[in-house]
Amino acid sequence: MTHHSLQQAFREYLAWWGFKHFSSDRDYFAWQRQQFSSEELKQLALHVERKRTGDCRDEIAFYDLAAQPKLYPVLYSQRYEYYEEIGVRTTAHLSQAKDVLDFGCGIGVLTIFYARLFPEKNFIGVDRSPASIVVARERADKLGLHNLRFECVDVEAEPLSGSYDLVVTTHALVQAEQDRGLPSRSWRTFERGRNLSQQRSFEERTGLAVRLDGLCRVMSSSGRIIVSEKTRQLARRVPLQRALANRGLQLAERPALIRYRTVEEVVDDGPFYVLGRGGEATLNWDEGPEQDQGPPFNPDAVSMSAGDVDMPLYENHWPSAQGAWEGLKDRQVIRETTRQAPDGRQVHAERGSSRGLHYLYCANTFDQRQLVIVEEARSAMLDEYYQEILRGLT
């Protein structure tokens, strides 16, 4: 099957679920308002908030509500491009497998697609939301699929059984979206120290340890696991990667950064990891920041770059600002502060000059960097900005 025909088949399949693809948020919300009463919208907002702040019972209650037949086509249409992105990518890895486990399968959108495409392979979808499993079973029955079953299991409460040569888990391992992850060793670096108790704490508070251990136990010795989470930020990516590596999982291919649109935002997600155990590890884990869109920096050409009088000579809000700051020639610090912010970040703010130009640099242990350079005549604006940063730290 070509990529194009697979994508086409996937779109027809999503339409069978009642999912719609929207390129305009306004159209999506107009459809949502037609479908849901204001009471339903209120209930939904309440459950979203409880899921955000509550415990696993609140999370299960949210997914149970989202699986109601009236709600799921509308709610999960928001994830249309996510399904497409993950579904098509994962399909490319299914041909070598025989027994496949989809952990945290939800209502089974992806699991059923895979099972229908590969009738000679066995699939099992596992989720702890009972209402989601009811929907998944009903939809699979409608298609008369005999190579697929769904089980309602909470992996944190009971062990999984069986042995699988492919385990797939997407958006189900690191469910704590608010968790900021592991800070870097200091504001000067993107590196994370090898602090075992910090790593353990991340794995425990996000539920990653128990879920991943459960999956590793049912993965056959030559099996593979596909993992894709909302762990694009370095502070979350590093502890996830270390959790995978610490369990003997190695990269079978270079991780892919993925991007798709949901309602109201473009999501930079992933990476999409394909991992195996054993064999020669040839690919190294990358713990550095991604290539970013910061403007290139040439310290000798900054003063000539003034085009617009309202714009700084140079401005970079990306991790690459660190390299630019390090490249400033004859850097003289005028004032600097390094503080622990109330949320635990270590923040460094620095006002300085470099060969007649003035700069403000700000860096923190969650990988944010900012460098602004102006001519001396406009340096007062940097002082104001510096004070504003300090006020934000108290």
Ligand X SMILES: C[S@@+](CC[C@H](N)C(=O)[O-])C[C@H]1O[C@@H](n2cnc3c(N)ncnc32)[C@H](O)[C@@H]1O
Interface residue list for ligand X (CB under 6 A): 63, 104-106, 109-110, 126-129, 132, 153-156, 170-172, 175, 211
Residue 264 CB coordination number (10 Å): 10
CB of 108 to ligand X, least distance (A): 8
Is the separation of the CB atoms in 353 and 330 below 8 Å?
A: no
Distance of CA 181 to the CA centre of its chain: 12
Judged by CB, which is closer to ligand X: 106, or 181?
106
User: Closest Cα partner for 198 from 39, 344, 376?
Assistant: 344
Judged by CB, which is closer to ligand X: 78, or 122?
78
Helix (H) or strand (E) holding 228: strand 219-228
Judged by CB, which is closer to ligand X: 64, or 165?
64
CB of 29 to ligand X, least distance (A): 21
Judged by CB, which is closer to ligand X: 170, or 316?
170
Judged by CB, which is closer to ligand X: 164, or 318?
164
Backbone phi, then psi, for 350, in 5-degree steps? -140, 130
**Helix/strand/coil for 170:** strand
CB of 211 to ligand X, least distance (A): 6
The residue number whose beta carbon is nearest to ligand X equals: 104
- Cα first-last separation, the chain: 59
Contacts of 183 (CB under 8 A, 6+ apart): 192, 235, 344, 345, 346, 365, 366
**Helix/strand/coil for 223:** strand
Judged by CB, which is closer to ligand X: 274, or 363?
274
Judged by CB, which is closer to ligand X: 35, or 175?
175
Is the separation of the CB atoms in 270 and 295 below 8 Å?
A: no
Is the separation of the CB atoms in 187 and 347 below 8 Å?
A: yes
The residue whose two tokens read 């930020």 is 233
CA-to-CA distance for 63 and 48, rounded, in angstroms? 10
CB of 247 to ligand X, least distance (A): 17
Distance of CA 2 to the CA centre of its chain: 28
CA-to-CA distance for 368 and 298, rounded, in angstroms? 21
CB of 6 to ligand X, least distance (A): 18
CB of 83 to ligand X, least distance (A): 7
CA-to-CA distance for 3 and 9, rounded, in angstroms? 10
Judged by CB, which is closer to ligand X: 105, or 167?
105
CB of 260 to ligand X, least distance (A): 12
Distance of CA 311 to the CA centre of its chain: 33
Is the separation of the CB atoms in 97 and 29 below 8 Å?
A: no
> Where does residue 262 rank: exposed (0-12), middle (13-18), buried (19+ CB within 10 A)?
middle
CB of 191 to ligand X, least distance (A): 30
**Helix/strand/coil for 283:** coil
Judged by CB, which is closer to ligand X: 226, or 389?
226
CB of 102 to ligand X, least distance (A): 7
Judged by CB, which is closer to ligand X: 124, or 347?
124
The residue whose two tokens read 């850097």 is 331
| Size (the chain), residues | 394
CB of 35 to ligand X, least distance (A): 20
